[in-house]
Structure 1
């Protein structure tokens, strides 16, 4: 009888120790995540990566030197929630290739830069709820006479480095039984110059981004491929900041302010 009692006490003690360890680990994880928001408050500034070459989303105003666009406005709204002041934001220019590494090193708290959410990327970063949905399209010179992707069979498509565009078009080309060549560039202005100089036959990225590069001599083809859903990205495990970002987007959406912000930059079409 005494043996059974001792065995029972030992088992109970083990269960209690395991439960305590689990609770401690969960608490530590939550505390660590919360510290990220506390660090921002202590620092007094929110570090955000944004595009500076995408009219409508993130652009550097040459006349004032200010960062402007829908995504920069969203960043300011998040700063207002965390720090009580929408001006407490430090913007860092990013490209499709640099935005991830700058999050990894901790130089940035958030990246809000036409960052398409994919299942693969979710393995590396925390993504907010979707704040904008677009689709991959094609910008061409009118003089080329192209009317659809099929007309670009055997031609060279310019895409941004590390973007999802190339994979999307490769899949679509296979579906249509055509062959495409690709040339990758670091920035959208470089892609536009390549198109104008004839080094590429089409500049391809999300439709709303292309709208900022249309001129009288060029046009966006009607083709639209693969929905591109944009979310704000944070370091993996930064759940407290993710919660703040999601609640900010939800509140802006519920109040109608999110739609008004898109309309302000011509992104409500």
Structure 2
């Protein structure tokens, strides 16, 4: 009986070891696959990009054309071809503010080109390219407004509209502490409040405000930027080869004029918006 028991124990140990070894091998394969994103896209000649579908000038669904359009969309396609060749393909995966980091971490996309601000907290989760758009907080006001900069808002009785949960709210309280901030759920509601006269200015990233100004005559961006919050291409943490390849492609697109052409294509002629300030 004792011998049988010993045999059973040995079998159990061997099975446990086999399962553990299998699990380790599986984990190792997953980690290897995770670390080979650049090799995978190079082999397939395809990059799956996480992009926005609700941000004018950067990534927006054009209902008439039934496709996504914007600066981020065009730049993602240009980077893909610069990295992988003229016959390479950029696949677009639609994301939102809440989902963009999770879909990247889950492996649904290879990279994010989705107005992702480079921040210390995000650097703990993902790796970033060099900045491709020098975003910063600015102000949107009616054309006849006397407000020309953030300093003009730092007075009692001044009201700024912004979106809940964004850095814009905290920045207004920092740079114009005497102003009152009205918070809304989204940019559409915030701009409606500005049009209704519920505030003297609306504040968020300069590029987003440029998009609103582009489709609403009588409003313009003022004061330049009073914060520095650049956008970068995000890839999963540790994807060093992918980051290097994207940075190289961005440098080459800048040298051959493609980057500047795209900036002018999307941001020319917007009242108060400075392309020179926003360029990398």
Name the TM-score, length of structure 1 as normaliser: 0.73
After superposition, give the CA deviation of every residue in 1:168-189 in whole Å (9 maximum; x if it has no partner).
2232124xxx143241434x34
Which position in structure 2 is the counterpart of 1:79? 80
Within the alignment, does 1:128 sit opposite 2:135 as a pair?
no
Cα distance change, pair 161–127 in 1 and its aligned pair in 2 (3 A) = farther
Which position in structure 2 is the counterpart of 1:69? 70
The two structures, once aligned, show a CA RMSD in angstroms of 3.2
Task: Give runs of aligned pairs for residues 88-99 of structure 1, distance below 5 A.
Answer: 88-99=89-100
In the aligned structure 2, how far is the partner of 1:102 from the partner of 1:156?
37
Cα distance change, pair 97–157 in 1 and its aligned pair in 2 (3 A) = farther
Deviates further, 108-117 or 135-144: 135-144
In the aligned structure 2, how far is the partner of 1:128 from the partner of 1:162?
25
Aligned partner of residue 90 in structure 1, secondary structure: strand
- Aligned pairs, number: 239
In the aligned structure 2, how far is the partner of 1:105 from the partner of 1:198?
43
In the aligned structure 1, how far is the partner of 2:243 from the partner of 2:113?
12
Within the alignment, does 1:202 sit opposite 2:214 as a pair?
no
Within the alignment, does 1:171 sit opposite 2:193 as a pair?
no
Which position in structure 2 is the counterpart of 1:114? 115
After superposition, give the CA deviation of every residue in 1:166-214 in whole Å (9 maximum; x if it has no partner).
332232124xxx143241434x344334433556653321223212212
Which position in structure 1 is the counterpart of 2:261? 260
Task: Give runs of aligned pairs for residues 178-193 of structure 1, distance below 5 A.
Answer: 178-186=178-186, 188-193=187-192
Structure 1 unpaired stretches of 5+: 1-27
In the aligned structure 2, how far is the partner of 1:111 from the partner of 1:199?
35
In the aligned structure 1, how far is the partner of 2:88 from the partner of 2:162?
34
Deviates further, 36-45 or 258-267: 36-45
Cα distance change, pair 151–82 in 1 and its aligned pair in 2 (3 A) = closer
In the aligned structure 2, how far is the partner of 1:124 from the partner of 1:43?
26
In the aligned structure 2, how far is the partner of 1:157 from the partner of 1:107?
38
Aligned partner of residue 60 in structure 2, secondary structure: strand
In the aligned structure 2, how far is the partner of 1:83 from the partner of 1:130?
21
Please say if residues 53 and 189 of structure 1, whose CA atoms lie closer than 8 Å, have aligned partners that are also in contact. no
List structure 1 runs of 4+ shifted beyond 6 angstroms.
none
Cα distance change, pair 38–184 in 1 and its aligned pair in 2 (3 A) = farther
In the aligned structure 2, how far is the partner of 1:38 from the partner of 1:115?
24
Please say if residues 158 and 185 of structure 1, whose CA atoms lie closer than 8 Å, have aligned partners that are also in contact. no
In the aligned structure 2, how far is the partner of 1:93 from the partner of 1:150?
38
Name the TM-score, length of structure 2 as normaliser: 0.71
**Structure 1 residue 127, shift from structure 2 partner:** 0.6
Cα distance change, pair 133–51 in 1 and its aligned pair in 2 (3 A) = same
